[in-house]
Amino acid sequence: MFIICKFWKERWLVAGLSMQIFAPYVHLVSITVMVILFWPVAFYVACLEREVRMRRYRMTHSEKKRLKQCNVITRLRGLYLMPLGIYSPCIQEKENLGPKPTIFGHRGAPMLGPENTMMSFEKAVEHGAHGLETDIHLSYDHVPFLMHDFDLKRTTNIGEVQPESACENPAFFNWDFLSTLNAGKWFVKPELRPFYNMKPLSEADKERARNQSIPTLADLLTLAEKERKFVIFDLHRPPPKHPLRHTFVRQVVSVILASKIEQHLTPKFYVFMWLLADIISVLFIVAIFCFHWRRETEKEKLFETSSTRTGKVRGLAHSCLFIPTHCFQETEAAFHVPDKS
């Protein structure tokens, strides 16, 4: 249990937050289950108590009936009041509620306007979005534009204009061609609506949606600068054989800097963090190299020492095996003890 609590610490937090969300439903289910289980349980308990008391005391018929009613009412009150003791963090007074969460318009407001169009982003701003989220591709002539899919057939009319190119990557088209495509007619078609629970659009919004085109990143940054909104995006790398295959980040950064949008993280801070990360990485790599180099050096020295000792022992054993016979004779003469007799 200790190991589970240690390694699942964050998961327990998630479980607690999930319980806060589902607590009202648990409350209602508990009441329903108690109502269903009340009658057989209360009837059985009342019968048991009545039988016990009838054995202990002699009671009249009216007293038995009154006791039965009292038992049933007591059980009923207890079971119906029990759910009131279940604590639900979702049921709170308005003044005790926490701050509202920050809301980002994912591709704008895709239930109120065609996704990744200026109408969608303007609708998100009207409904109080804190920031705007989008996806960026780069055209073949270096223009960053807003598009989520890796083809144009779902959200544009390329199937009518140039059907043979409907499945091609949008990065292979020039901006002059992309700017002529319609990006909103699909949204007002009932069979192509992105969400089934969308509210009906007004005629003015339908007409506005029909006239939407693919916006550029510069258009979105202008709106964000005007409304003072955050912008986050997914930057898609151009496919192979694209002229900006390896320099697309530089091109997008240049467009962002040219828009004069407020920088919450200045370029100097980016440079500092980049250099700091590089320095830490270099130190870490050098430390690992030195550690392994030192360990291998120590192993090599130990191997050389053990080899030297083994060679000396083998040489000594070899010399002892090949001692001449006269050496033993001389040794025997040197240690000869004369006979006293």
| pLDDT in 10s for each residue of the chain, 341 residues | 566 666 666 566 666 666 666 666 676 677 677 667 666 766 676 676 666 666 556 555 555 555 555 555 555 555 555 555 555 555 566 777 667 668 899 999 999 999 999 999 999 999 999 999 999 999 999 999 999 999 999 999 999 999 999 999 999 999 999 999 999 999 998 887 788 788 888 999 999 999 999 999 999 999 999 999 989 999 999 999 999 999 999 999 999 989 888 766 545 555 566 667 667 777 877 787 777 778 777 877 777 777 666 665 555 555 554 445 454 444 444 444 454 44
Separation of alpha carbons 247 and 56, rounded Å? 95
pLDDT digits (tens, 9 = 90+) for 271-286: 566 667 667 777 877 7
How many Cα atoms within 13 Å fall on the side-chain side of residue 132? 34
Position 58: which residue type? Answer: R
Helix or strand run (H / E) with residue 248: helix 248-258
Separation of alpha carbons 153 and 159, rounded Å? 6
The pLDDT assigned to 332 comes to 46
pTM over 0.95: no
The pLDDT assigned to 233 comes to 92
